[in-house]
Structure 1
Amino acid sequence: MWLTINDKQIEANEGMSILNAALGAGIYIPHLCGHPDLEAVGGCRLCSVEIDGMEEAVPSCMIKVQEGMKVTVHGPKAERTRKTAMELILATHPADCTGCPKYGKCELQSMYQYLGVGPERWKKKSRTVPTDDSNPLIRHLFTRCVRCGRCVRACRELRGVKVLDFQRTQEGVRIGTGGNISLKEAGCKFCGACIEVCPTGSIMDALGQINEEASYGERVVPCKAACPAHTDIPRYLRYIKEGEYEKATAVIREKLPFPEALGCICNHVCETACKRNELGEPLSICKLKRAAASVHSDDWKKNRKIADSTGKKVAVIGAGPAGLTAAYYLAKKGHEVTVFEINEKAGGQCRYGIPSYRLPDEVMDREIDDILEVGVQLKVNTTAEAPEVLLKQGYDTVLIATGTHKGTLLPLEGNKLSGVILNTDFLKNARRNQIRNLGKKVMVLGGGNVAYDCARTALRLGAEEVHIACLESRDKMTAAAEEIQEGCDEGVILHSGHSFLRITGDTKVQGVELQKVEKFYFDENRKAVIELVEGSREIIPVDHVIFAVGQAPDETEKLGVELNHGFYVKVNSSFATNLPGVYGAGDVVTGTRSVIEAIAAGRQSAVEMDRYLGGDGDISEELLEKETADPFLGRTKDFGNLERLSPPLLDPQERKNSFDAVEQTFTCEEAKCEARRCLQCDLRLNVTNPKLWNEY
Structure 2
Amino acid sequence: MKIIIEGKEIEAKEGISVLDAALKAGIYIPHLCNHPDLEATGGCRLCSVSVDGIDQAVPSCKTIVQEGMVVEINSEKADKTRKMAMELILASHPADCTGCPKYGKCELQSMYQYMGVGPEKWKKKSRTVPNDDSNPLISHLFTRCVRCGRCVRACRELRGVKVLDFQRTKDGIRIGTDGGISLEEAGCKFCGACIEVCPTGSIMDTLGMVKENVSYSDSIVPCKSACPAHTDIPRYIRYIKEGDFAKATAVIRERVPFPETLGNICNHVCEDHCKRNELENPISVCKLKRAAAGNDDGSWKKNIRRSEPTGKKVAIVGAGPAGLTSAYYLAKKGHEVTVFEENEKAGGQCRYGIPAYRLADEVLDREIADILAEGVELLTNAKVTSPKELLSKGYEAVLVSVGTHKGTLLPLEGNNLQGVYINADFLKKARQGVIVDIKESVVVLGGGNVAYDCARTALRLGAKEVHIACLENLEQMTATKDEIEEGKEEGIILHFAHSFLRITGSEKVEGVELQKIEKFYFDSNRKAVIELVEGSNEVVPADSVIFAVGQRPAGTEDMELELSHGPYIKTNEDLETSVEGIFATGDVVTGTKSVVTAIAGGRKSAEVIDKYLGGDGDISEQLVESETPSPYIGKYTGFAKLKRTMPKFKNPQTRKCNFDVVEEVFTKEAAKCEASRCLQCDLRLNLTQSKLWNEY
- Judge same fold: TM > 0.5, yes or no: yes
**Structure 2 counterparts to residues 119-518 of structure 1, below 5 A:** 119-518=119-518
Q: For residues 268-321 of structure 1, give each alpha carbon's deviation from its aligned partner in whole angstroms, at most 9, with x where no partner exists.
A: 110001011111111000110110011132111111011111111101000001
> How many angstroms apart in 1 are the aligned matches of 2:187 and 2:163?
7
> How much has 1:257 moved relative to structure 2?
0.5
Contact 2:210 2:216 in 1 (8 A): no
Indicate conservation of the 8 Å contact 2:385/2:558, yes or no: no
Structure 2 Cα separation of the partners of residues 206 and 500 of structure 1: 44
In 1, the alpha carbon distance for the partners of 2:75 and 2:407 equals 81
Looking at structure 1, the residues matched to 541 and 97 of structure 2 have their Cα atoms a distance apart, in angstroms, of 70
Question: Retained in 1: the 8 A contact 2:429–2:436?
Answer: no
Name 1:98's counterpart in structure 2: 98
Residue deviations 1:416-451, cap 9 Å, x none?
A: 011111000000000010024311111111111001
Residues 387-437 of structure 1: per-residue CA shift (max 9 Å, x gap): 111101111011110000001001111110111110000000000100243
Question: CA offset at residue 8 of structure 1?
Answer: 2.5
Q: What SS does the aligned partner of 1:476 have?
A: coil
- AA at the equivalent of 1:54: I
Q: CA deviation at 1:507?
A: 1.2
**Cα distance in structure 2, aligned partners of 1:119 and 1:609:** 58
Corresponding letter in the other structure for 1:566: G
Instruction: For residue 535 of structure 1, give the secondary structure of its aligned residue in structure 2.
Output: coil
Q: Do the aligned partners of 2:385 and 2:555 also contact (CA within 8 Å) in 1?
A: no
Equivalent residue number for residue 650 of structure 2:
650
- The residue aligned with 2:86 is 86
Shift of 1:122: 1.2
Query: Distance in 2 between the 1:71 and 1:515 partners?
Result: 85
Instruction: Measure, in 1, the Cα distance between the counterparts of 2:244 and 2:612.
Output: 39
Counterpart CA distance in 2 for 1:185 and 1:31 is: 34
SS at match of 2:79: helix
Distance (whole Å) between structure 1 residues aligned to residue 476 and residue 70 of structure 2: 72
Q: Does 1:613 align with 2:613?
A: yes
The size of the alignment, in residue pairs, is 696
Query: In terms of mean alpha carbon deviation, does 443-452 or 7-16 score higher?
Result: 7-16
CA 417–385 in structure 1, closer or farther in 2 if over 3 Å, else same: closer
When normalised by structure 1's length, the TM-score is 0.99
Give, in whole Å, the separation in 1 of the partners of 2:390 and 2:288: 42
Q: Which residue of 2 aligns with 1:74?
A: 74
Deviates more, 1:98-107 or 1:242-251: 98-107
Q: Secondary structure, in 3 states, of the residue corresponding to 1:499?
A: strand
Cα distance between partner residues in 2 of 1:109 and 1:538: 69
- 1:28 and 1:443 map into 2 onto residues whose CA distance is 74
- For residues 124 and 514 of structure 1, the distance between their equivalents in structure 2, rounded to whole angstroms, comes to 70
Q: Provide the C-alpha distance between the structure 2 equivalents of 1:442 and 1:104, rounded to a whole number of angstroms.
A: 63
Displacement of 1:514 in angstroms is 1.5
Amino acid at match of 2:383: T
Offset, 1:124: 1.0
What are the residue-to-residue correspondences of 1:25-40 with 2, within 5 Å? 25-40=25-40
2:327–2:376 contact (8 Å) kept in structure 1: yes
1:385, distance to aligned residue in structure 2 (A): 4.4
Aligned counterparts of 2:541 and 2:385: Cα–Cα separation in 1:
46
Opposite residue 185 of structure 2, the aligned amino acid is: E
Amino acid in the other structure paired with 1:387: P
Deviations for 1:353-393, whole angstroms, at most 9, x for unmatched residues?
00010011011001100111111100001112411111011
C-alpha deviation, 1:10, in angstroms: 2.4
In structure 1, C-alpha distance between the alignment counterparts of 2:78 and 2:520, rounded to whole Å: 72
Distance 2:111 2:531 in 1: 64
Output the CA distance in 2 between the equivalents of 1:513 and 1:89.
73
Deviation at 1:120, TM superposition (A): 2.3
Distance in 1 (CA, whole Å) between partners of 2:110 and 2:473 is 55
Q: The residue matched to 1:610 in structure 2 has which SS? A: helix
Q: Which amino acid aligns with 1:504?
A: T
Alpha-carbon RMSD: 1.0
Residue 521 of structure 1 is matched in structure 2 by 521
Aligned counterparts of 2:451 and 2:623: Cα–Cα separation in 1: 38
Separation in 2 of the partners of 1:333 and 1:106? 46
Give the whole-Å Cα distance in 1 for the aligned partners of 2:566 and 2:27. 66
Aligned counterpart, 1:4: 4
Residue of structure 2 in register with 1:532 after alignment: 532
1:239-280 per-residue CA deviation (whole Å, 9 max, x = no partner) reads: 000000010011101111000000111111100010111111
How far is 1:6 from its partner? 2.2
| Partner AA of 2:75 in structure 1 | G
TM superposition shift of 1:605 = 1.1
Look up the match of 2:577: 577
The aligned counterpart of 2:665 is: 665
Q: Within 1, Cα distance between the matches of 2:480 and 2:148?
A: 48
8 Å contact from structure 2 (residues 387, 559) kept in 1: yes
Output the CA distance in 2 between the equivalents of 1:77 and 1:423. Answer: 82
Partner residue of 1:675?
675
How many angstroms apart in 2 are the aligned matches of 1:397 and 1:434?
36
Equivalent AA in structure 2 for residue 662 of structure 1: V
State how far apart, in whole Å, the 1-side matches of 2:426 and 2:235 are.
Answer: 40
What amino acid is the match of 1:560?
A: E
One-letter code aligned to 1:665? V
8 Å CA contact 2:49, 2:60 repeated in 1:
yes
AA partner of residue 142 (structure 1): F
CA distance in 2, matches of 1:435, 1:672: 43
Cα deviation code 1:484-526 (max 9, x no counterpart)? 1111111111111211111111211111111222222222222
Question: Which whole-Å deviations, capped at 9, do the CAs of 1:189-211 have from their partners, x for residues lacking one?
Answer: 11110111011111111002121
Q: Which amino acid aligns with 1:486?
A: E
Question: What does the per-residue CA deviation read over 1:197-249, in whole Å, with 9 as the maximum and x for residues that have no partner?
Answer: 01111111100212111111011111111001111111011000000001001
Distance in 2, matches of 1:57 and 1:638, equals 46
> How far apart, CA to CA, are the structure 1 residues paired with 2:25 and 2:533?
79
The letter of the residue matching 2:351 is R
Instruction: State the match for 1:684 in structure 2.
Output: 684
Q: Secondary structure at the match of 1:475?
A: coil
1:109 partner SS: helix
Q: How far apart are the structure 2 equivalents of 1:205 and 1:148?
A: 19
Q: Which runs of 5+ in 1 are unaligned?
A: none
Query: After superposition, what is the alpha-carbon deviation per residue over 1:615-639, rounded to whole angstroms, capped at 9, x for unaligned?
Result: 1111111111110010001000101
CA distance in 2, matches of 1:197, 1:434: 62
Distance 1:642 1:410 in 2: 46
Deviates more, 1:519-528 or 1:380-389: 519-528
Structure 1: which amino acid aligns with 2:95?
A
Matched letter for residue 204 of structure 2: M
Aligned mates of 1:64, 1:175 — CA distance in 2? 29
